[in-house]
Amino acid sequence: MDTLWERLYVLLSEEKKEEWAKRYKKRFGKEFIPPAQDKRAIECETKIEDTAEIEKLMKERPGYSVDVQGREG
């Protein structure tokens, strides 16, 4: 997983990247190796629900009363 250093590094200008590398070396005592590519550990697959199904679910009455939720009591 990318570290905070690697994620922020890609947003910097070239001159700031040089300064960044110097500060990294001063702070951690080793050379900063820029990230080669974006390596995300999580992938997300989206699924779009049918609008008719969403409408049906929204029109259903809940199977509990307000006092069961703890709002009245």
pLDDT tens-digit profile of 26-43?
Answer: 999 998 887 666 666 677
Comparison of pLDDT for 41 and 54, the residue scoring more = 54
Q: What percent of the chain has pLDDT over 70?
A: 71
Whether 12 shows a pLDDT value over 90: the answer reads no
> Is the predicted pLDDT of residue 1 greater than 60, yes or no?
no
For residue 66, give every residue at least 6 positions away whose Cβ sits within 8 Å of its Cβ, in sequence order, or none. Answer: 72
Can you give the residue ranges of every domain in the chain? 1-40
* pLDDT at residue number 49: 83
What CA–CA distance (Å, rounded) separates 1 from 38? Answer: 10
Question: Average pLDDT of 4-15?
Answer: 78
